[in-house]
Structure 1
Amino acid sequence: MQKLIIGCGYVGREVARRWLEAGHDVAALTRSEANAQQFSDLGIQPVLGEITNPETLQGLPESETVLYAVGFDRSASQSRREVYVEGLAHALSVIKERTQQIIYLSSTSVYGQTAGEWVDETSACEPERENGQICLEAEQLFAQQKLLGEAVVEGNARAVILRLAGIYGPGRLLARMEQIKAGEPLAGRPDAWLNLIHLDDIVQTILRCDGDLQLASHYLVSDSRPVTRQEYYETLAQLLEAPQPRFATGEAADVKSKSTRPNSTERAAGVNKRCNNKRLREELGVQLQYPSIWEGLSQAIKNT
């Protein structure tokens, strides 16, 4: 069967590998000739195009399933809204009549809770940060175009939205590993909550959604054990046999937070909330391979 990936990066390539192993034909959209060659070498059919340029999307093939996993490229000239909202709108106008199902990767940043509250799929989405606001605006396109739940129009695809916690896995920890090994002080509150999910568990969730199941419109994809930043970095340090982490405080923390950006894991992990994955486990039936960082970090480090 034909599968299409729009946004074939860290998550998308692993899904592509699994689909190819299962005997499916896989195509992937890319704006890069170099990526197109890499995709071809992996057995993936490249489709040259750019989501912010709708005229280039007409060559997208009909597909049983579309995985939409576009991330934000800070080196590109487009704004976050142009990529996440306008780009998605361009893509949906083409693919909604060319596929049966769209699996869309969103973020737990759509939740705005900041006081350590537990959140799930029924919790209010009132993000205060721009990233969360834009992610929520993108999600709302699916409802507006009647691609979710009971509102799906005949002839349109049915979509499922996966709200991912902070992603970690092999090759995704290098910057923080070097920082911990060097004993550099860490900016941010040590008692703030992080919500994380291992690459392998994201992939198995996507593959689970790509089946003959009655799906809800949204799933919160996080592991079963939120951790504080202090727990996270202490565990990472222990596994690396590195010095115990130090957190910058007061004026030093303010200076450091202005001079450095949080890595992608921390940006997606949220702003001090705790994610409840009950629907993922009990309704979708995903059995997490790495239910907490205590199982997942060692694997990620070993394979980095």
Structure 2
Amino acid sequence: MELTIVGCGYLGEAVARQLQTRRPALNLTLTTTVTERHAELTDLADQLLLCDATEPAQLLAALQHRRTAVFCLAPRGNRRVNADGYRQTFLESFRCLRSLLPDLPHLRQIIYTGSSSVYGDADGDWVDESTAPAAETEHGAVLLESERLLTEMGGCKRRVCILRLAALHGPGRELDDRLKGLAGRERTGDGRSFSNWVHVHDAAGALIAAMDGAWSGIVNVVNDEPIRMRNLVDRSLERQQLEPVHWSGGPETSGNGRRIRNNRLKALGYRLQYPMLDGGRAECLL
């Protein structure tokens, strides 16, 4: 099988490392937009390319003669970008891909790592793949339009799978490290809003399963533990023996969030390596 991963950031690199172990004979191409990453990525692939996915010549070079294309796109930098940055990263890349399809006759599978944020706020209720998404922000509208563009590229000769990922955690993004700065501080609201997470190794594993199993359509990639923010933060700080957060009270300004079901992921045969955030039992969250 010949595969290209377009965008080799945190998740793309995790996928490449799993493939190196599990599929050593795979003909793998990786792309990045960051020249400085060449040294750490070059040993993970047969070919490493600098590629801006909005540039037709560069994207064509990355995907030519490939049967599978995986898009792990993310805006550049660590800070949250505005909606225009999202449009450039996602919409313009997929418009470019659409324009190139006549020149990519071998492409039979497209996998895109999207975001579960497209569900919007469900006031704490459960959502699944049949739930109508809610574009409550400009960012969400861009992500939904990106999904629509990709879905239209599917057909009898080409499968499209959209993996709606929860927030990622794992090596380099450990929750305890990210939350310890909240110790002893006051936070607005009561922390009732739900958050949903998935370990980066499960996100990568589900993507490889999607590739191997020729999945199509939308699949939620989340763990088994939707968790209220107050429980998440308090549990982490207690584990680190740090002072708890002081919640100021009142309703959450951002709503109560959503709890995302992963039934389809499991029905397709994927077994989570990290079903819970800390390996313990899920708390009663009802």
Match of 1:292 in 2: 276
Q: 1:279 to 1:41 in 2, by over 3 A?
A: closer
Partner of 2:185, secondary structure, is: coil
Match of 1:164 in 2: 165
Checking the alignment, whether the CA contact within 8 Å between 2:160 and 2:216 is kept in structure 1 is: no
Match of 1:109 in 2: 117
Match of 2:181 in 1: 179
Q: 1:214 to 1:30 in 2, by over 3 A?
A: closer
4+ long deviations beyond 6 Å = 75-78
Q: Which residue type is aligned with residue 259 of structure 2?
A: R
* 1:236 equivalenced with 2:236 (yes/no): yes
Among 58, 73, 79, the residue aligned to 2:85: 79
Match of 2:72 in 1: 69
Q: Which residue type is aligned with residue 112 of structure 1?
A: G
The CA deviation at 1:188 is: 5.2
Show structure 2 runs of 5+ residues with no match: 281-286
Distance 2:215 2:192 in 1: 35
Match of 1:301 in 2: none
Distance 1:186 1:173 in 2: 21
The CA deviation at 1:239 is: 2.2
Checking the alignment, whether the CA contact within 8 Å between 1:235 and 1:294 is kept in structure 2 is: no
Match of 1:192 in 2: 193
What is the RMSD computed on CA atoms of the aligned residues? 2.6
Q: Which residue type is aligned with residue 88 of structure 2?
A: E
Distance 1:63 1:40 in 2: 19
The CA deviation at 1:276 is: 0.9
Checking the alignment, whether the CA contact within 8 Å between 2:90 and 2:142 is kept in structure 1 is: yes
* 1:273 equivalenced with 2:244 (yes/no): no
Match of 1:266 in 2: none
The CA deviation at 1:235 is: 1.5
Partner of 2:91, secondary structure, is: helix
The CA deviation at 1:177 is: 3.4
The CA deviation at 1:189 is: 4.4
Q: What TM-score do the two structures reach when normalised by structure 2?
A: 0.84
Distance 2:19 2:95 in 1: 26
Q: 1:178 to 1:113 in 2, by over 3 A?
A: closer
Distance 2:107 2:186 in 1: 49
The CA deviation at 1:84 is: 1.0
Q: What TM-score do the two structures reach when normalised by structure 1?
A: 0.80
Show structure 1 runs of 5+ residues with no match: 258-269, 297-304
Distance 1:86 1:189 in 2: 39
After TM superposition, the structure 1 = structure 2 runs for residues 35-184 of structure 1, keeping only pairs within 5 Å, are 35-43=37-45, 45-60=47-62, 61-74=64-77, 79-94=85-100, 97-145=105-153, 147=154, 152-154=155-157, 157-173=158-174, 176-180=178-182, 182-184=183-185
The CA deviation at 1:105 is: 0.5
Q: 1:89 to 1:246 in 2, by over 3 A?
A: same
Q: 1:139 to 1:188 in 2, by over 3 A?
A: farther
Distance 2:152 2:214 in 1: 21
